[in-house]
């Protein structure tokens, strides 16, 4: 299990844009399961429908990407590539994005990502987001690890 303190050592993101609260499973080079607790205090709800708060799809995708970044960096560390402190993850593409159910305050958004392909600095991930075991969103993400 990786808590938010450790996550902040891995990712450069900070409040209000750190979108992973905890990692609960990590299989190096293969998969990750992480989550974010969605609360009414999220700044995004001030403008994303104050009368009807819905967590934006773009934030769901970004949260999946951050979980994927944790997977990539931890996998590289375990493979002995300890130079990750000088690296950052860049999005290359988002494909097959679908939003199935709205995310609302009070939900626990669970990210589950599997590595489809990893070659050199490029990672291709299948990402799915769930609330109460119901699929809320999915996408295929491609990212590259680059020097800062």
Distance, CA of 3 to CA of 25 (rounded, Å): 11
10 Å CB burial of residue 104 (0-12, 13-18, 19+) is middle
Q: Regarding predicted confidence, which is higher, 80 or 37?
A: 37
Distance, CA of 13 to CA of 26 (rounded, Å): 20
The angle subtended at Cα 115 by Cα 95 and Cα 17, nearest 5°, is 65
What are the φ and ψ backbone dihedral angles of 40, each rounded to 5 degrees? -65, -20
pLDDT digits (tens, 9 = 90+) for 34-62: 999 999 999 999 999 989 999 999 999 99
Catalytic residue among 13, 48, 52, 118: 48
For 126, the token pair is 């299948």
Q: Regarding predicted confidence, which is higher, 123 or 88?
A: 123
For residue 24, what are the contacts with CB-CB under 8 A and spacing of at least 6?
Answer: 1, 33, 34, 35
> Does the structure show a pLDDT above 70 at 142?
yes
Among 72, 69, 91, 75, which residue's Cα sits nearest to residue 13? 69
User: What is residue 60's three-state secondary structure?
Assistant: helix
Q: Is 48 a catalytic residue?
A: yes
- Cβ–Cβ under 8 Å, residues 104 and 53: yes
> Does the structure show a pLDDT above 80 at 83?
no
Q: Which domains does the chain have, with CATH numbers?
A: 4-147 (3.10.129.10)
Distance, CA of 32 to CA of 63 (rounded, Å): 12
Whole-number pLDDT of residue 82: 61
Whole-number pLDDT of residue 79: 74
């Amino acid at each position: 299990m990786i808590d938010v303190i450790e996550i902040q050592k891995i990712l450069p993101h900070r409040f209000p844009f750190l979108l992973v609260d905890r990692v609960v499973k990590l299989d190096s080079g293969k998969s990750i399961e992480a989550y974010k607790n969605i609360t009414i205090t999220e700044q995004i709800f001030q403008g994303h429908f104050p009368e009807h708060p819905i967590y934006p799809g773009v934030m769901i995708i970004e949260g999946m990407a951050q979980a994927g970044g944790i997977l990539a960096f931890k996998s590289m560390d375990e493979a002995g590539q300890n130079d990750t402190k000088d690296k950052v993850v860049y999005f290359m593409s988002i494909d097959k994005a679908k939003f199935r159910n709205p995310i609302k305050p009070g939900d626990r958004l669970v990210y589950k990502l599997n590595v489809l392909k990893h070659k050199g600095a490029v990672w291709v991930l299948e990402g799915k987001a769930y609330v109460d075991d119901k699929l809320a969103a999915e996408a295929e993400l491609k990212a590259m690890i680059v020097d800062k």
